[in-house]
Structure 1
Amino acid sequence: MLAGFHSVGLSADPILTVIQRAAAAGYDAIELNAETLSWTVPHVTPATPPEERAAIREAAALNGLVISAVGAHVAMVEDDAEARRKAIAFVDGCTDLAVDVGAPVVHILSGPAPAGVPEATAWKWFADAVVATSSHADSRGVSLAIEAIAGHLFHRIDD
């Protein structure tokens, strides 16, 4: 088993500093945050340039860390079809980033069901998004995982 650190825990530091600090603290792995939160910006996104991706991969290797995953957290069940399309493109971009940095897993979440949308409709949107993003992940040799979040459509073990 590996002890891993999620980069959002040091959200104010540049990712190369986070990698060094996580290794110095004795962690074995690091998960890269690609989620924009109300209180911070992501360390990586699909727009992360190739040279930065290479630097992240090299820094992790030099510091003895495995890059365990990329957290591609965007709502996949937005009421707007264009927003859902952009969410799928974001996750697919994070999958490509995962390949470049050597992360074997990208994980997603559903997001909360939009108000006024029938639950069955929200589940169909999420299922469609999972099919699309897992197909891309499979084609790139990356595992796609779904994180259950309280208050989101997908939030129970039975989901």
Structure 2
Amino acid sequence: MTSHGTALRFGYGTNGLADLRLDDALALLADLGYDGVGLTLDHMHLDPLAPDLAARAARVARRLAALGLDVTVETGARYVLDPRHKHGPSLLDPDPQARARRVDLLLRAVRVAADLGAHAVHCFSGTAPAGDDADTAWQRLAASLTPVLEAAATAGIPLAVEPEPGHLLATLADFHHLRRLLGDPPALGLTLDLGHCQCLEPLPPADCVRAAAPWLRHVQIEDMRRGVHDHLPFGEGEIDFPPLLAALAATGYQGLTVVELPRHSHAGPHHARTSLPFLRRAAAAAAANVPTTAASGAGHPAAAAPHAAAPVAAGAATTGPATAASATTAPEGSTP
């Protein structure tokens, strides 16, 4: 604990270590000094659809305990349910049976999270099907999440929904729209990807953190540029990290802040090795109030991003979901 708030605890996402066996990935992160892991349930890492899930989860739990790693369960695997359609089927699929498959995956994730002693279960909405009106999509999302939230409440583990560029639920304003639709259930929390704040939110990233603080249950981090949804290694984007991490520490957030570089698995061990020193330098600079240009960490001056939209208060009354994501560009295939 410092005068600036809670000491941040850093993890690394297994979706950025997809070429490693899970046990090897966990050992690497422990050896590098990470506090925990964002565990994406996928065919190569604790397959949620293979037999004997509870027994396999128990073995992973023992391994995490032996290595001293905390964990958040993530559910953003690209093809775990459908080998031909990325992130399919979603919670918004017009086919009720297809939606039920995604709901079942999230229910399995809640059970795994309980077995692992995880801090939260992460999920996202998916993209709205072509031709669907917004009200129909939002009602489908709320109905699909209801049994998952009930299971999460019973397990005592928050369900942390992530605003994802290009998805129905793309922004913090969209998260509050869902929260109101569901009647503000206690089990509903927020996954805040700090790069996404840089990408498309009207508030600067540090202000996003402050606005989101009451609902924060999981945090993801990487570098990013304004208007481009491309997860970048630290120092290759525009984010000014020391003030951002200072804002996060000041909220008292006690969960993991997980590096998310899913498109960099080909060099995952390298990025895992370089990311933690970068984050520790930025956090130390934040705590010491060092000027941000002295803590960019990779030879790249920290650059402030332009923010054309006027700031709005999180949770402020809105007449409907936000549409900021519609203006966001992304390299083909860049969405995690």
TM-score (ref. length: structure 2): 0.44
2:227 matched residue in structure 1: none
2:35 matched residue in structure 1: 28
1:60 matched residue in structure 2: 64
State the Cα distance separating 1:80 from its structure 2 match.
Answer: 1.1
Q: Secondary structure at the match of 2:146?
A: helix
Q: Secondary structure at the match of 2:49?
A: coil
- Deviating beyond 6 angstroms after TM superposition, the runs of 4 or more aligned structure 1 residues are none
1:137 aligns with 2:152: yes
State the Cα distance separating 1:85 from its structure 2 match.
Answer: 1.1
1:110 matched residue in structure 2: 125
Q: Secondary structure at the match of 1:79?
A: coil
Does structure 2 retain, via aligned residues, the 8 Å contact 1:46–1:96?
Answer: no
Matches within 5 A, 1:21-100: 21-34=28-41, 41-47=43-49, 49-67=53-71, 69-73=72-76, 75-100=90-115
State the Cα distance separating 1:42 from its structure 2 match.
Answer: 4.9
- Shift in alpha-carbon separation, 1:122–1:42, aligned structure 2, 3 A: farther
The code of the aligned residue for 1:111 comes to: G
Q: How far apart in 1 are the matches of 2:21 and 2:55?
A: 15
Does structure 2 retain, via aligned residues, the 8 Å contact 1:33–1:42?
Answer: no
Does structure 1 retain, via aligned residues, the 8 Å contact 2:46–2:56?
Answer: no
> What residue ranges of structure 2 are gaps of 5+ in the alignment?
1-7, 77-86, 175-336
Q: Secondary structure at the match of 1:3?
A: strand
1:6 aligns with 2:13: yes
State the Cα distance separating 1:45 from its structure 2 match.
Answer: 3.7
Larger Rg computed on CA atoms: 2
Does structure 1 retain, via aligned residues, the 8 Å contact 2:22–2:44?
Answer: no
The code of the aligned residue for 1:65 comes to: L
Deviation readout 1:72-95 (Å, 9 max, x if unpaired): 235211121111111111100110
State the Cα distance separating 1:107 from its structure 2 match.
Answer: 1.1
The code of the aligned residue for 1:22 comes to: L
Q: How far apart in 2 are the matches of 1:115 and 1:44?
A: 33
The code of the aligned residue for 2:173 comes to: D
The code of the aligned residue for 2:125 comes to: S
1:149 aligns with 2:164: yes
State the Cα distance separating 1:138 from its structure 2 match.
Answer: 0.5
Q: Secondary structure at the match of 1:158?
A: helix
Does structure 2 retain, via aligned residues, the 8 Å contact 1:8–1:42?
Answer: no
Does structure 1 retain, via aligned residues, the 8 Å contact 2:124–2:161?
Answer: yes
State the Cα distance separating 1:13 from its structure 2 match.
Answer: 1.1
- The alignment yields a C-alpha RMSD, in angstroms, of 1.5
The code of the aligned residue for 1:70 comes to: V
Does structure 2 retain, via aligned residues, the 8 Å contact 1:45–1:94?
Answer: no
Number of equivalences: 153
